Structure 1
Amino acid sequence: MNAVVPTITLADIEAAAVRLKGQAVETPLIESPALSERLGLRVLIKPETLQRVGAFKFRGAYNRLVQLSEAERRVGVVAFSSGNHAQGVALAAKLLGIPAVIVMPADAPKVKVEATKGYGADVRFYDRLGGKTREAIAAEIAQERGGAVVVPAFDDPHIVAGQGTVGLEMVRQAAALGATLDAVIAPISGGGLLAGIATAVKALSPKTAILGAEPAGFDDTRQSLAKGERVTIRPQGRSYCDALESPFPGEITFPVMRRTVAEVAAVTDAEVAEAMRVAFATLKLVVEPGGAAGLAALLAGKVTLAAGACVGLVLSGGNVDPEFYARVLRGEA
């Protein structure tokens, strides 16, 4: 018998917003005349680079952990992530006094590893190209620690609801600017961010198109939407977008994206690097590769938009390795 897949509603996202008040940053919605003129659109930017831990992931992590029982808090949590979810869980755990173990790939960006450790989490490394999966390692650690709660990166209704507060804020902030969003574009890994945003935006602004962007070679969501069912890919190599390398969309997130997402673009490393340079030069923002995927899709003309459309662009994170970032800015990557 198939398990019932949890659903996420606008009420769940509004409840998450209440929990996050005073904890998460309500990041601004910024209009960029220079970018708007370049693209022939009205571009309103949601810089989650300015969020706590430098990425939207804090929203979902805190919303999940703050709802743990006292008994669960004493035992602690285990998460697995290449970096941004790791930092989000680590900081949320620190704020709530919860022990946290984070399973990270050995090749995760140093800046993300050091930040995760800096929040007090116990980091355990694994080889993403061989051996046990991160899910199996996390499950073993949870059992060893007496039933610690495993906090997934995206396939959890509380995580998705927390990420959905990005969309909730965008619609209300756009209205305050006298704008109606014709489209919203955000990066996709497992789909927690886009599914949460889509749930909020479609409830408040049904005509707004939901667009996604993911790395070429890691376009599991695009393939899944085309096939009408979840597809697991077997990538050859790596992407600059280390934060977007999930090989499949989530069991919870995919049905939401299937109902709501109009289009998904696959962006190349070269397009992502160019988007990072534009974000630096034009927007004066440091954006990591995965965080720049939506901007890359807009700059490369890979999504369908009418001339002059008002587009909400989510820059989802800014945790980029300094040496790699310098190479990008010099045009060497």
Structure 2
Amino acid sequence: MEAPEGADFCFPLLLNNSCRKPVPPQSDGILVLLSFISVLTAALNLLVIISISHFRQLHSPTNLLILSLALSDFLVGLLLMPVDILSAEACWFLGDLMCALYYVVDFIITSSSVGNMVLISIDRYLAICDPLRYNTRVTLDKTKICVCLCWIYSVLYNSLILMDFVRHPDSHNSCYGECVVVLNHITGSVDFVFTFIGPITVIIVLYLRIFVVAVSQAQVMRSHIAAVSQQSSVGVTAKKSEMKAARTLGVVVVVFLICFCPYYSPSFTGEVIEDSSSSSTFVLWLLYFNSCLNPVIYAFFYPWFRKSIKLIVTLKILQPGSCDCKIL
């Protein structure tokens, strides 16, 4: 039986202006896998958020930055991944306003993740390279202010570069049933510099400095290990703890670079950056997958995260006084 005329179009009554329905992947296993990644990303980052928010022993400046990063990763799994999965099988029926809103949220979440990575790098740099003044220069209140400024900056900055798109969200749509945003050479170049080149440069420079200092400190500790007193041993233990945190968050930064660089690679050749809800590419999902990898890295390197997961899953956090449990 032949399909009725217009069955392959998003809006059959507008054959001349309607987009054709997207062709879903040949294998349903791909959609199942992507859906599983979406659920896993949201669930794992929710565990990070609950852990750091609930247990008082985890209320430190570094963990607050991890909490902010987990929030942006959680939103990726909760909002961005599901919309991209649905757009692979269906047309965009939510209208121009929701299309504009979706991309504004998308850009805000992405830039906030980059901002959180910069803050994490600065935190580790101060902890390793200036340990004597770290506790006075980096406090919980100051970190909260920095996190809030990071999110406010992301909202204001992305609202500014997407202002024309919000006013005319259908300006780059070739047909009805499409949701696409195109950054021209000016806005694309600005976004490339402020969201990628600038932050990535800061992150790499800081971690190179951390690596140099870490190597020199390791040599000093090995040369004096035999003469360490009990009081100094405490200091060495604290220093090792800082180094371990720097190493763990260094892995997070490296994974972040691997996942984000392909997405911005077209800008290196001067191409226009285009995002379309009808094209779920490997590069886009590699960027999204970074949000799933971060909590996996925490679980692998941080014993406190594994302990908190057990307490959360077994519902022991509902017991009175559970927030004061010894996690570290």
TM-score band, normalised by shorter chain: under 0.3
In terms of fraction of residues, the more strand-rich structure is 1
Larger radius of gyration, structure 1 or 2? 2
* TM-score in terms of structure 2 length: 0.23
* TM-score in terms of structure 1 length: 0.23
In terms of fraction of residues, the more helix-rich structure is 2
